Amino acid sequence: THVVANAGLGLTYDKVNQAVRLLNEDNVAFEDRYAVASPQGIEDLLATTQATSSDFTILNAIKTGMFPAGAIWMGFQWIMSTRLAVAALVRSCIFFQKAAIGLAIEQDIKIEIDRRPDRLNALQVLASVSSGAVRIEEEGVVQVDILES
């Protein structure tokens, strides 16, 4: 129910502000908020004055070409991902509060190390885990669609 439409635009200050408003209207906690955006979405934001000008922020994002690790802008800690869903050039970015997402781990990390006689006894490492994530609280997650060309 919390979707910000792409409106033929990339990730803009107004879209981020709308995501903040939707979370605030549902009394979602202010701490532990995250924004997961695509590289092009981050590029779109870095083209806006509100994200790069020292009049608005002290992030110095323009120096690194990305929001610095652990930095908070507009109340969100930013994560760049290339694994967000995309359909017909519309990518879905996710804005959420940590408690609104649940993680279930069926099988914890299992690591096996074996020698491969066919490869001059080189070591072969296998690591596996079985887990899944799900939305627990609908009001704590906002989908922001952006147009990527």
pTM to 2 decimal places: 0.78
Q: Which two tokens stand for residue 115?
A: 């020698």
Q: What are phi and psi of 17, to 5 degrees?
A: -60, -40
In the predicted structure, residue 63 carries a pLDDT above the cut 60: no
Integer CA distances (angstroms), 63 to 50, 51, 121, in order: 15, 12, 46
**What pLDDT is attached to residue 46?**
81
Tens digit of pLDDT for each residue in 139-149?
999 999 999 98
